[in-house]
């Protein structure tokens, strides 16, 4: 990691990813951690999944998420911090009627930056799921 400032509204090095309709901008990246700013338009979501090798955190800057945390539905709003220990099944949904902006970070980073680079602008959810598994992120089958 290099010392410096990532300017407001920008991703480090000018990087911005489109991940299935959401915008992710990397703010900091090292082996120990990876932080990224996100923009979730209304109606977008990350289906339930598990990070086998990372703890994940979300600090809501604006808006409201509905979450599935270990099988329980919970709500988080502006200023809330969501903690998701590695191995905990979780899903993130914007059903609020407005966009959500948030700061996400994982520790350790374990290739999540590379995963986002590979799935940028990839429109096939099945391919996203397949590639994610290569980075120890396992999407769960739909309930049924």
Instruction: Tell me the average pLDDT of the chain.
Output: 95
- Fold entry, domain 18-137: Jelly Rolls (2.60.120)
Looking at residue 143, its pLDDT comes to 66
| pLDDT level of residue 46 (50, 70, 90 thresholds) | very high
- pLDDT tens-digit readout, 58-115: 999 999 999 999 889 999 999 999 999 999 999 999 999 999 999 999 999 999 999 9
Q: Do residues 73 and 55 lie in contact, with contact meaning Cβ atoms separated by under 8 Å?
A: no
Residues 44-66 have a mean pLDDT of 97
Query: Residue 84's closest CA among 115, 62, 54?
Result: 54
CA distance 64 to 79: 10
| pLDDT level of residue 142 (50, 70, 90 thresholds) | confident
Instruction: Break the chain into its structural domains and give their ranges.
Output: 18-137
Query: Residue 59's closest CA among 31, 89, 27?
Result: 27
Looking at residue 60, its pLDDT comes to 98
| pLDDT level of residue 1 (50, 70, 90 thresholds) | confident
- C-alpha angle 113/46/11, rounded to 5°? 35
CA atoms within a 13 Å half-sphere pointing along the CA-CB vector of 47: 13
Instruction: Enter the tokens of residue 77.
Output: 């709003």
CA distance 15 to 137: 22
Is residue 131 pLDDT above 90, yes or no?
Answer: yes
């Amino acid at each position: 990691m290099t010392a410096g400032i990532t300017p407001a509204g920008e991703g480090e090095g000018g990087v911005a990813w489109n991940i299935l309709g959401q915008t992710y901008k990397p703010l900091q990246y090292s082996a120990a951690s990876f932080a990224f700013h996100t923009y979730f338009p209304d109606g977008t979501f990350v289906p339930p999944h598990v990070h086998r090798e990372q703890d994940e955190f979300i600090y809501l800057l604006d808006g409201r998420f509905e979450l599935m945390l270990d099988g329980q539905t919970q709500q988080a709003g502006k200023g809330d911090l969501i903690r998701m220990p590695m191995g905990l099944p979780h899903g993130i949904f914007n059903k609020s009627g407005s966009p959500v902006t948030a700061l996400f970070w994982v520790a350790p980073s374990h290739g999540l930056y590379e995963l986002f680079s590979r799935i940028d602008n990839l429109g096939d959810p099945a391919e996203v799921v397949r590639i994610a598994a290569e980075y120890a992120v396992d999407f769960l089958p739909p309930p049924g």
